[in-house]
Structure 1
Amino acid sequence: MKKYSPQQLALRNGQDKEEIWIAYKGIIYDVTNSKLWKNGTHYEHWSGQDLTEELKDAPHTEMVFERLNIIGELIQ
């Protein structure tokens, strides 16, 4: 699996590059084609970052990630 730094993830925020990515539990997911992530935002959440800690406040479970394409691994 390809590895990406937090800085590389941050560039996939829907503004700097065409791709829109998010990370959860060390895995990076592509949400570029999701209508829920249009322009790199999803409600009060921003793409291009690790959303692991924010999921506890979400109205859904981590099962939503099963529908997304995995891009790679987030390295710290």
Structure 2
Amino acid sequence: MKSYTKQQLALRNGQDKPEIWVAYQGIIYDLTHSRLWKNGKHYEHWAGQDLTEELFDAPHTANVFLKFEAVGKLINQDDFNSR
């Protein structure tokens, strides 16, 4: 699985790039085709971010991510630079 930094994830916000990606517990999911994430926004949440902490307040469980393709792993910039 390919690795991405937070900066690379941030570009997949549905506006800077057409992809709509979010991370949850270190895995990045492609939500591009979700009708609930049009223009990179879902209620008060924005694509291109790690939503791990925000899921605690969501009306659904993490099982929602099972519907979507995992496209990569979220790594920190130092790990990326050391490759």
Q: Is TM-score (shorter-chain normalized) higher than 0.5?
A: yes
Does 2:82 align with 1:68? no
Larger Rg: 2
Does 2:15 align with 1:20? no
Identity %: 71
Structure number having the greater helix percentage: 2
Which position in structure 2 is the counterpart of 1:3? Answer: 3
Displacement of 1:68 after TM fit? 0.5
What is the alpha-carbon distance in structure 1 between the residues aligned to residue 65 and residue 32 of structure 2?
Answer: 13
TM (norm. structure 2) is: 0.90
Displacement of 1:74 after TM fit? 0.3
User: Any unmatched runs of 5+ in structure 1?
Assistant: none
Question: How large is the RMSD of aligned CA atoms in angstroms?
Answer: 0.4
Displacement of 1:27 after TM fit? 0.2
What is the alpha-carbon distance in structure 2 between the residues aligned to residue 21 and residue 3 of structure 1?
Answer: 13
Q: How many residues align?
A: 76
User: Any unmatched runs of 5+ in structure 2?
Assistant: 77-83
